[in-house]
Amino acid sequence: MGSDGRHLIHLVKGQDGRPVKMAEIPPANIKRWVPRRKAEVVAAVRNGLITLDNACSRYALSVEEFLSWEETIHQYGPEGLQVSKMHQRHAH
């Protein structure tokens, strides 16, 4: 964590290795979940930028849904979060 002199700035590394700030995680009213946004939320939770409980509350997610994103990223990388790929994996 660092400070800009006025506010605390939280930095964590996202899935692509670039720093992610709290202000850059998806907004609470997100309507369309693309793989990058899901990966940013997972990275934010993994790195302590936001708690799992806060993420689930903020994004109206169940713990199971979040954990499925996390597991998919672990097994297949962020690109595995694409809905069409998930359907293909579950169809086999």
Q: End-to-end CA distance of the chain, in Å?
A: 44
Strands 2-3 and 8-9: antiparallel
pLDDT digit string, tens, across residues 33-80: 999 899 989 989 988 889 999 999 999 999 999 999 999 998 988 888
pLDDT of residue 30 exceeding 60, the answer is yes
Confidence at 83, pLDDT banded by 50, 70, 90: low
Please state, rounded to an integer, the average pLDDT across all residues of the chain: 76
**Rounded average pLDDT over 2-31:** 60
Q: Which fold is adopted by the domain 2-91?
A: Arc Repressor Mutant, subunit A (1.10.10)
List the chain domain ranges. 2-91
